[in-house]
Amino acid sequence: MTKPGMTTPAMKHWIDAAEDLLPDMIALRRAIHAEPEIGLHNPMTTAKAKAALAGLPLEYSEGPSTTGFVATLRGPSNGRTVLLRGDMDALPMEEDTGLDFTSTVQNAMHACGHDTHVAMLVGAARALCAQRDRLAGTVQFMFQPGEEGWHGARYMLEDGVIDPMPDAAYALHITPNVQSGIFAGKPGPLLAAADRIELTIKGRGGHASQPHDAVDPIPVACEMVMALQAMMTRRVPAFDPAVLTIAHIKAGSTNNVIPETAFIEGTIRSFSEKSRTIARDGLKRVVEHVCAAHLCEADLNIIPGFPVTLCDERAVALARRTTKDMFGEDAWFEMPHPMMGAEDFSYVLQKSPGAMMFLGATPEGGDWRTCCALHSNRMMLDEKVMARGAAMHCAIAEAFLSEGFGS
């Protein structure tokens, strides 16, 4: 029996294969980084990924709603199916890293590491194709655009691009705020559901010297923010939390005019459908009655976001074992609690058991505790860890196809 922390010959093979492919992964990552694309349609990124996969024994599936695709590799035996996912899209922001391969597209930047996700998935596909005879089943490589709030995974599912649904699904997400080369994860909720709030409070405009003749929506908006915070702390259970953030308030045009309306915008984040429902219902109730108390009307829109990212305990256990067997006991960090960020891989995990993990990529010379985080205009990464990510994709795929989730 292999002792924890002792790399098996098969696992070492995946490490060696990924290290050999690292220069190609870096080149692909940089090419994608220089030409970032936003939203559900990323044609240049799709073309780069497909070019890097050219000549491999893969079957392709695509749909009309996105430029995403699934490349399927069938092993010699028709056993289980495992899906590996890499998201492709960038963020609408300017880049200030000063890198040689900095974004050439105005107001677009790969600030969330999706360029590395594509490169690692391509590397894994090439390595697994080269060793196709080792596979006791089928691997689906999901190249997905539109993760940054566009529901790309949901559209790909609705288009039937993932057919059949896999027996297990895994995704890796790179981050500079975990020590370089360390994998992190946990069973259960990993990331939150995130719903948007848009609220317009409708009063009656007037002169600033005569507020009694108007219906001023600004103090109502201020009261609303505080009332909503009180509702969240008193109605949502402390051990099944939800977080309400009002991040945008807009009202008025000058100093001596009471405006007609005030606009409030924010998010609700939660870790279960129960707390999500409590928060939504409480929000509606507070908005209705605070506005009624001040003779205002409310136009409330709750825009559903991604569901909770729930990681299957068995899937996490397989990832944990694989990490420790490949890279040693210290290569796995068990996260003590979930994060309030949101992720649309959650749609896949609603239909197939699986897990998402983080891969630390602190830039060389940086401190993982203080370096620029994901979504920062100065976010940079250690590209060398992509070899570990690709090797992990390969090892998890082989292990699951051979033994399922194991024990």
Please check whether residues 149 and 205 belong to one and the same domain: no
Please check whether residues 85 and 176 belong to one and the same domain: yes
Please check whether residues 154 and 250 belong to one and the same domain: no
**By percentage, how much of the chain surpasses pLDDT 70?**
97
* CB contact at 8 A, 371 and 362: yes
Does residue 3 sit within a domain? no
- With 60 as the cut, is the pLDDT of residue 2 above it? no
pLDDT at 356: 97
Does residue 14 sit within a domain? yes
pLDDT at 367: 81
The residue out of 303, 334, 364 marking a domain boundary is: 303
pLDDT at 147: 95
pLDDT at 182: 95
**By percentage, how much of the chain surpasses pLDDT 90?**
87
Q: What is the pTM of this model?
A: 0.90
- With 60 as the cut, is the pLDDT of residue 287 above it? yes
When divided into structural domains, the chain yields a total of 2
Looking up tokens 């010379």, which residue turns up?
365
- In this structure, of 3-12, 260-269, 270-279, 289-298, the range with the lowest mean pLDDT score is 3-12
pLDDT at 14: 94
Q: Across residues 139-157, what is the average pLDDT? A: 96
pLDDT at 86: 97
pLDDT at 146: 96
CATH of the domain at 261: 3.30.70.360
CATH of the domain at 40: 3.40.630.10
- With 50 as the cut, is the pLDDT of residue 1 above it? no
Q: Across residues 65-78, what is the average pLDDT? A: 93
Distance CA 232, CA 218 (A): 22
pLDDT at 10: 60
- With 80 as the cut, is the pLDDT of residue 9 above it? no
Token pair listed for 390: 């690709």
> Residue 143's closest CA among 205, 85, 74, 212?
85
Please check whether residues 389 and 252 belong to one and the same domain: no
pLDDT in tens, 239-253: 999 999 999 999 999
Determine the straight-line distance between the first and last CA of the chain, rounded to whole angstroms. Answer: 14
- Residue 275's pLDDT band (boundaries 50, 70, 90)? very high
Does residue 162 sit within a domain? yes
Does residue 363 sit within a domain? yes
- With 80 as the cut, is the pLDDT of residue 78 above it? no
Please check whether residues 154 and 34 belong to one and the same domain: yes
pLDDT at 108: 95
Looking up tokens 């929000």, which residue turns up?
283
Please check whether residues 280 and 390 belong to one and the same domain: no
- With 70 as the cut, is the pLDDT of residue 404 above it? yes
- Residue 309's pLDDT band (boundaries 50, 70, 90)? very high
- Residue 8's pLDDT band (boundaries 50, 70, 90)? low
Q: Across residues 104-121, what is the average pLDDT? A: 96
Does residue 280 sit within a domain? yes
Classify residue 252 as left (phi > 0), alpha (psi -120 to 50) or beta.
left
- With 70 as the cut, is the pLDDT of residue 173 above it? yes
pLDDT at 167: 97
Distance CA 213, CA 205 (A): 9
The residue out of 280, 303, 326 marking a domain boundary is: 303
Please check whether residues 186 and 200 belong to one and the same domain: no
Does residue 4 sit within a domain? no
Q: Across residues 177-189, what is the average pLDDT? A: 94
The residue out of 303, 336, 364 marking a domain boundary is: 303
* CB contact at 8 A, 203 and 216: yes
Please check whether residues 186 and 201 belong to one and the same domain: no
Please check whether residues 78 and 186 belong to one and the same domain: yes
pLDDT at 11: 73
Please check whether residues 39 and 136 belong to one and the same domain: yes
Structural domain harbouring 320: 9-191+309-403
Q: What does the chain come to in residues?
A: 407
Please check whether residues 239 and 288 belong to one and the same domain: yes
394 by Cβ neighbours in 10 Å (0-12 / 13-18 / 19+) ranks as buried
Please check whether residues 391 and 339 belong to one and the same domain: yes
SS3 396: helix
